[in-house]
């Protein structure tokens, strides 16, 4: 998924700190790498690396970023084979009219084709990043037009897949969203006049910016010293296709996408689940953190009291070490602990957002059983995951997806629950009417909103690159 934040200010100031706070608010969208580029009147200073925001930005490094009136920042979702410092965004390149930085949320399906085309014209690459291809494509277009926004407008139709981007030039900031609007993007304004562009509204809240509006599918918005201009020429009548997992799992509950609160959407999902999959139970609990909101909804919908069933250890992060081999199996136990007094001798409804491989779910259920739960009724706030995603979500191949390999009854036995219910896909139709927006539900039904990808998965792209050799 990835997260983007851009700041277009009115004067020279510590924009790096604003970007830093914004990245913290978006950290949930990508934990593999992050970066901030500060623009000080055309001179870009960059700090980026692999790691969490808290790991990459030491006090010393943050202080080395200059003051500026613009900044662009990115948190990167980890995709196997795409590590390496050179792939961390924002991508910064220098060209004949100065520098540009590009931050991308999403995934191109025609990356290899675009790259080959550029290379045949003499371009070279130092990264495998889609953002690099996007940046160089834009710069090629820039040679024939008069402005960066025109170059973006010419380039956008060439990018297939999910392409939500923010481009920072020496003097302007350009935000653009593909015609399907698969990944969200919005902007807000601070009291000091600065504009803030972000993947989610919660990042606007974190930096004290008031939400102005979502950037709509196909739109290009340009922020300059003259003000904000929108180009909607490419916006089509076609139904947009926001990734439904933004509501189900990706986005923060305190964000609002297309006018609908993510928390509220999850509560409704929970309420719907209570109706379609009722349970005769004493207490409703959620798996922290992703199942909590839907659990509250299930409690509302069913009248069964909501309770705190698990305490999540908030100190366990990336640096947690698993020294003893044997204990590796007990990792879930160290992260989560059941609250006995809540579940003992109770019939428990357990709400989670999805079942991917099933192994974690099985361990969580076991914790409840050990803590004395009499019955466990599992409710999942999404339909079963059956198809790969080409738009930025890293899911295992079908071989590992439990829903592809087993029937619902088998899954029930594998994870040891008394009943199991998934959200019906039809529910999203209802949600659509609510937020006036179409959904991409390809991971449930295989109906992809874009052309077929020219390769399957990122790893194929990498394979193609590694096969190249000197004749």
Output the smallest distance, CB 401 to a copy of itself, in A: 27
Contact characters 402-431, a copy of itself, x per CB under 8 A: ------------------------------
Closer CB to a copy of itself, residue 210 or residue 447? 210
Output the smallest distance, CB 121 to a copy of itself, in A: 6
Query: Do 96 and 176 contact (CB within 8 A), yes or no?
Result: no
Among 4, 7, 25, 175, binds a copy of itself (CB under 8 A): 25
Output the smallest distance, CB 450 to a copy of itself, in A: 26
Closer CB to a copy of itself, residue 323 or residue 399? 323
Among 50, 51, 78, 125, binds a copy of itself (CB under 8 A): 125
User: Which position has the token pair 């709400």?
Assistant: 351
Output the smallest distance, CB 101 to a copy of itself, in A: 11
Contacts of 129 (CB under 8 A, 6+ apart): 82, 86, 87, 89, 91, 104
Query: Do 424 and 431 contact (CB within 8 A), yes or no?
Result: no
Touching a copy of itself, residues 90-119 (CB under 8 A) = 92-99, 116, 118-119
Closer CB to a copy of itself, residue 285 or residue 420? 285
Which range, of 58-66, 152-160, 242-250, 393-401, touches a copy of itself by CB under 8 A?
Answer: 58-66
Contacts of 293 (CB under 8 A, 6+ apart): 253, 262, 263, 266, 267, 270, 286
The Cβ of residue 385 has, within 10 Å, a number of other Cβ atoms equal to 24
By three-state DSSP, how is residue 244 classified? coil
Q: Which of 337, 275, 272 is nearest to 308 (CA)?
A: 337
Touching a copy of itself, residues 131-190 (CB under 8 A) = 135-136, 139-140, 143, 146-148, 169-172
Residue 168: alpha-carbon gap to chain centroid:
21
User: Which position has the token pair 């009724």?
Assistant: 377
Total chain residues near a copy of itself (CB under 8 A)? 101
Contact characters 253-272, a copy of itself, x per CB under 8 A: xx-x----x-xx--------
Output the smallest distance, CB 130 to a copy of itself, in A: 14
Touching a copy of itself, residues 277-316 (CB under 8 A) = 289, 292-293, 296, 300, 305-308, 310-311, 313-316
Among 1, 53, 177, 348, binds a copy of itself (CB under 8 A): 53
Output the smallest distance, CB 69 to a copy of itself, in A: 14
Q: Which of 309, 316, 412 is nearest to 370 (CA)?
A: 309
Closer CB to a copy of itself, residue 16 or residue 365? 16
- Judged by CB under 8 A, does residue 227 bind a copy of itself? no
Query: Do 89 and 131 contact (CB within 8 A), yes or no?
Result: yes
How far is the C-alpha of 328 from the C-alpha of 323, rounded, in Å?
A: 8
Among 66, 123, 359, 360, binds a copy of itself (CB under 8 A): 123
Touching a copy of itself, residues 438-467 (CB under 8 A) = 465-466
How far is the C-alpha of 394 from the C-alpha of 80, rounded, in Å?
A: 9
Query: Do 294 and 270 contact (CB within 8 A), yes or no?
Result: yes
Among 205, 219, 282, 353, binds a copy of itself (CB under 8 A): 205
The Cβ of residue 196 has, within 10 Å, a number of other Cβ atoms equal to 28
- Judged by CB under 8 A, does residue 16 bind a copy of itself? yes
Q: Which of 470, 468, 464, 469 is nearest to 81 (CA)?
A: 464
- Judged by CB under 8 A, does residue 80 bind a copy of itself? no
Q: Which of 104, 89, 70 is nearest to 172 (CA)?
A: 70
How far is the C-alpha of 453 from the C-alpha of 118, rounded, in Å?
A: 19
Closer CB to a copy of itself, residue 85 or residue 413? 85
Give me the phi and psi of 324, to 5 degrees please.
-90, 120
Output the smallest distance, CB 275 to a copy of itself, in A: 18
Among 8, 20, 159, 247, binds a copy of itself (CB under 8 A): 20
User: Which position has the token pair 């990356």?
Assistant: 111
Output the smallest distance, CB 393 to a copy of itself, in A: 20
Q: Which two tokens stand for residue 323?
A: 């020294």
């Amino acid at each position: 998924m990835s997260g983007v934040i851009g700041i277009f200010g009115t004067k020279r100031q510590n924009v790096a700190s604003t970007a830093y706070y914004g990245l913290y608010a978006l950290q949930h969208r990508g934990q593999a790498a992050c970066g901030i580029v500060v623009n000080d009147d055309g001179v870009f200073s960059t700090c980026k690396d692999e790691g969490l925001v808290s790991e990459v930005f030491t006090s010393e490094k943050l202080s080395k970023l200059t003051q500026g009136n613009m900044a662009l920042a990115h948190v990167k979702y980890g995709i196997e084979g795409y590590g390496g410092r050179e792939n961390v965004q924002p991508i910064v390149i220098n060209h004949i009219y100065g520098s540009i930085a590009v931050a991308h949320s999403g995934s191109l399906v025609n990356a290899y084709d675009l790259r080959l085309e550029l290379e045949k014209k003499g371009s070279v690459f130092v990264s495998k990043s889609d953002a690099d291809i996007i940046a160089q494509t834009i710069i090629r277009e820039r040679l024939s037009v008069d402005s960066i926004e025109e170059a973006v407008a010419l380039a956008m139709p060439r990018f297939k897949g999910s392409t939500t981007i923010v481009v920072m030039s020496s003097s302007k900031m350009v935000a653009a969203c593909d015609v399907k609007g698969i990944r969200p993007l919005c902007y807000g304004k601070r009291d000091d006049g600065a504009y803030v562009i972000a993947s989610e509204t919660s990042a606007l809240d974190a930096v004290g910016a008031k939400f102005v509006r979502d950037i709509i599918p196909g739109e290009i918005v340009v922020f300059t010293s003259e003000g904000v201009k929108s180009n909607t020429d490419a916006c089509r009548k076609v139904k947009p296709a926001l990734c439904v997992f933004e509501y189900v799992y990706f986005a923060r509950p305190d964000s609002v996408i297309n006018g609908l609160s993510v928390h509220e959407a999850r509560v409704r999902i929970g309420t719907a689940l209570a109706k379609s999959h009722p349970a005769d139970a004493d207490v409703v609990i959620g798996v922290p953190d992703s199942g909590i909101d839907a659990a509250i909804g299930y409690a509302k919908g069913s009248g069964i009291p909501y309770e705190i069933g698990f305490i999540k250890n908030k100190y366990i992060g990336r640096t947690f070490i698993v020294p003893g081999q044997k204990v590796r199996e007990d990792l879930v136990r160290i992260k989560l602990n059941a609250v006995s007094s809540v579940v003992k001798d109770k019939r428990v409804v357990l709400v989670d957002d999805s079942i991917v491989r099933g192994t974690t779910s099985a361990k969580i259920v076991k914790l409840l059983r050990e803590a004395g739960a009499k019955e466990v009724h599992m409710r999942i706030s999404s339909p079963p995951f059956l198809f790969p995603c080409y738009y930025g979500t890293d899911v295992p191949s079908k071989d590992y997806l439990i829903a592809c390999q087993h029937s619902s009854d088998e899954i029930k036995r594998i994870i040891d629950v008394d009943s199991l219910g998934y959200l019906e896909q039809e529910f999203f139709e209802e949600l659509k009417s609510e937020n006036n927006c179409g959904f991409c539900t390809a991971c449930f039904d295989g109906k992809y909103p874009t052309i077929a990808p020219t390769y399957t998965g990122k790893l194929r792209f990498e394979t193609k690159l590694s096969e190249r050799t000197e004749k």
